[in-house]
Amino acid sequence: MRIVISGYYGFGNAGDEAILAGAVAGLRRRLPDVELTVLSGDPPATERAHGVHAVQRGQAGSVWRAIGAADLVLQGGGGLVQDSTSGRSALYYLGILAAARLRRRPFMVFAQGIGPLRRRLTRSLTAWVFRRAAAITLRDDNSAGLLVEIGVPAERIAVTADLAALVDPVPSEDVAVLLPPKGEGPRIGLALREAEGAEAALKGAMEAAQHLRERYGARIVPLALHAGEDANLARQAAEALGASAVGVDRELTPAQWVGLVRSLDFVIAIRLHACIFAAAQGVPFVALSYDPKVAAFASRAHALWAPLEADLSEVVGLIDRAWAQREAGGASREAFAVELRRQAERNLDLVEAHQAGRRR
């Protein structure tokens, strides 16, 4: 079976690369003879990292040929179809699915987060294209509600989970060199990102991290999950907190990122996938939400969160409460981690069912 995977791959974002890693590993486990082609912003890097064939996502001819040779096109995962800044992202990804339809190739919307969709054109095009999908899986209820609102039948939609939950961590000793020594106080990850209106929350996260360091002897580990966007913030945090930033000067694999987060005692996160990595490994976290997808995931994981525009005292108080509650919630976190992986596997169930249908 030949599958083309379309998403935001080849751009150095640890979250998106983890989504792809989870998809590739899962598909190969379920369909041992599968041939995978990924549409990528950096095909050589994608081929090296994931062991797949990759083509340049911006070259129309290469994309057209890859789709024409496929038995199935998977769109996702991640938050691809949205028009919060412009309509170009949504139009690009909808265009990939339209090309699949023109080439008479079945396609699936695969573990996506949808929206926001504010423009009439993107809403109508999304509904038209998605109604023609072989299957639709989404990573949150908000996305499902949006699709139903714009005219996609609810019975066509399955709410599952982000494919990054399927990434297995490397052993803790493989990432030990990146972390403060174990046993000298709790290790707390601080995953920051630039976002509009984030100044107070960023300051609050730093203040809370400083408070945890002084009160509990915590060692803070700033994390740059997207080095191209987060490196400066991670360096600033490291300098202010007397720490070493991870992901700034050394590119990590998804399995290394997950192994690193698994080795932490607590995570303070603005990045969605820092939350997902923590939840999938049963690590307590608190989220600062710059986007509804972060709030939606934190709520699903029963984790404390605050909007990014929250004032400084609210952010510090929230993180202090989450820290105080971390030990009591261990069993529920482990149960959620198991459920998260089970839900992520449902995406693969539908691919496997599609393949079985082709063979009949």
Percent of the chain with pLDDT over 70: 99
Q: Does residue 171 carry a pLDDT above 70?
A: yes
**pLDDT tens readout for residues 126-164:** 999 999 999 999 999 999 999 999 999 999 999 999 999
Give CA–CA dist 110/245, Å, rounded. 33
Cα separation, 288 vs 228, in Å, equals: 20
Query: Looking at the predicted structure, is the pLDDT value of residue 359 above 80?
Result: no
Residue 112 pLDDT > 70: yes
> Is the torsion defined by CA of 73, 27, 20, 38 positive or negative?
negative
> Omega of the bond prior to 180 within 30 degrees of 0, cis?
no
pLDDT digits (tens, 9 = 90+) for 221-261: 999 999 889 999 899 999 988 889 999 888 899 999 999 99
Per DSSP, the chain holds a count of helices (H) and strands (E) of 13, 12
For residue 208, pLDDT over 90 is answered with no
Here the tokens at position 186 are 């709790």
Distance between CA atoms of 71 and 68, rounded to whole angstroms?
Answer: 8
Q: What CATH architecture applies to the domain 172-339? A: 3-Layer(aba) Sandwich (3.40)
Q: Where are the beta strands (DSSP E) in 187-280?
A: 187-191, 219-223, 266-269
Structure token pair of residue 351: 């691919």
Domain boundaries, the chain: 2-159, 172-339
What is the DSSP secondary-structure string of 129-195?
Answer: HHTT-SEEEESSHHHHHHHHHHT--GGGEEE---GGGGPPPPPGGGTGGGSPPTTSS-EEEEE----
Question: Taking the domain 2-159, which CATH number applies?
Answer: 3.40.50.2000
Choice between 266 and 84, residue whose per-residue pLDDT is larger? 266
Q: Please tell me the predicted confidence (pLDDT) of residue 198.
A: 67
Cα 270 to Cα 278: distance, rounded to the nearest angstrom: 12
Domains 2-159 and 172-339 share a fold: yes
Distance between CA 55 and CA 65 in Å, rounded?
10
Give the separation between CA 179 and CA 188, rounded to whole angstroms: 10
Write down the pLDDT at residue 360: 60
Which residue type is seen at 134?
A
pTM of the model: 0.95
pLDDT single digits (tens) 281-314: 999 999 999 888 999 999 999 999 999 888 878 8
Proportion of the chain above pLDDT 90, given as a percent: 79
pLDDT of 251 reads 87
